[in-house]
């Protein structure tokens, strides 16, 4: 699977390893609004903000327990040109905050489906990612540029974005806002996260997962039950 990922990333977004990108308005990380906020990125520099769409994977150890997360797969697209105030393609503040929910409910899960997995959203374990392609979203003036892939290398969250590689570890998390989109399955919204560098990242050294939609598993009804749940999120990178 990792070999295919590398091949598909030939056309991925390149995050400049030298001078930071220039924006009319530098995108700023959203505020959650709860009593607790994720620590900010200062003094690091903004590198990119991407839309991720894919699946969160889970398994069950017993009946009636909460499912255990085992990883995720997602395709990534560049959404920095859509940040409010950034230029002619910019969205309104409301449209920006609702972008992940729109992508989740109006586009198909962008993964190759598993064959005879008995799960409606499971991805092909050997070749999960289709050919790289830009994403067209209703109400967005131009297609979103393909940026890369998110996957887990063992238990390590990994983001491969051309010249940039982020290999992360969880630093902190907060529950998604109460009014966040509960997803296609209606089972809940995954947390907002702050991820630090696990030691082998390139160009980017800090990441956030915010504006999440969907991604929470159903209650466990059987031992070794597996479930893949569609989700979307904004991923922010700093370095």
Within a domain: residue 81? yes
Within a domain: residue 64? no
Residue whose pair of structure tokens reads 């990883």 in the numeric block: 71
Residue range 19-26: mean pLDDT, rounded: 61
Within a domain: residue 176? yes
Residue whose pair of structure tokens reads 């997962």 in the numeric block: 209
- Domain span including residue 185: 46-54+70-111+133-216+232-238
- Give first-to-last CA distance, the chain, whole Å: 27
Q: Which residue has the higher pLDDT, 193 or 5?
A: 193
What is the rounded average pLDDT for all residues in the chain? Answer: 90
Going by C-beta distance under 8 Å and a sequence separation of 6 or more, which residues neighbour residue 193? 38, 170, 172, 173, 207, 208, 209
Within a domain: residue 28? no
pLDDT tens digits, one per residue of 83-102: 999 999 999 999 999 999 99
Within a domain: residue 20? no
Q: Using pLDDT thresholds of 50, 70 and 90, give the confidence band for residue 7.
A: very low
Which neighbouring-strand residues pair with 156?
153
Q: Using pLDDT thresholds of 50, 70 and 90, give the confidence band for residue 9.
A: very low
pLDDT tens digits, one per residue of 130-160: 999 999 999 898 999 999 999 999 999 999 9
Q: Is 152 left (phi over 0), alpha (psi -120 to 50) or beta?
A: beta
pLDDT at 96: 97
Within a domain: residue 35? no
Number of domains in the chain: 1
Q: Using pLDDT thresholds of 50, 70 and 90, give the confidence band for residue 22.
A: low
pLDDT at 119: 87
pLDDT at 21: 53
pLDDT at 168: 97
pLDDT at 26: 86
Within a domain: residue 105? yes
pLDDT at 154: 92
pLDDT at 24: 66
Of residues 60, 47, 84, 73, the one with CA closest to residue 162: 47
């Amino acid at each position: 699977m990792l070999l295919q990922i590398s091949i598909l990333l030939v056309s991925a977004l390149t995050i400049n390893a030298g001078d930071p990108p220039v924006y009319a308005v530098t995108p700023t990380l959203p505020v959650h609004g709860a009593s607790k906020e994720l620590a900010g990125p200062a003094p690091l520099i903004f590198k990119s903000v991407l839309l991720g769409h894919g699946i969160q994977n889970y398994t069950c150890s017993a009946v009636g327990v909460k499912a255990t997360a085992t990883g995720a797969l997602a395709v990534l697209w560049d959404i920095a040109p859509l940040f409010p105030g950034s230029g002619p393609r910019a969205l309104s503040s409301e449209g920006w905050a609702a972008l992940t929910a729109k992508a989740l409910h109006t586009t198909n899960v962008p993964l190759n489906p598993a064959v005879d997995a008995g799960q409606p959203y499971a991805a092909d374990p050997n070749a999960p990612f289709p050919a790289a392609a830009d994403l067209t979203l209703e109400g967005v003036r131009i297609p979103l540029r393909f940026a890369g892939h998110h996957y887990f290398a063992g238990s390590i969250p990994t983001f491969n974005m051309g010249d940039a590689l982020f290999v992360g570890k969880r630093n902190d998390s907060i529950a998604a806002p109460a009014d966040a989109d509960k997803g296609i399955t209606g089972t809940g919204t995954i947390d907002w996260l702050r991820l630090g560098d696990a030691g082998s990242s390139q160009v980017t050294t800090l990441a956030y997962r915010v504006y999440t939609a969907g991604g929470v598993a159903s209650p466990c009804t059987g031992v070794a039950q597996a479930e893949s749940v569609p989700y979307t999120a904004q991923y922010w990178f700093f370095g």
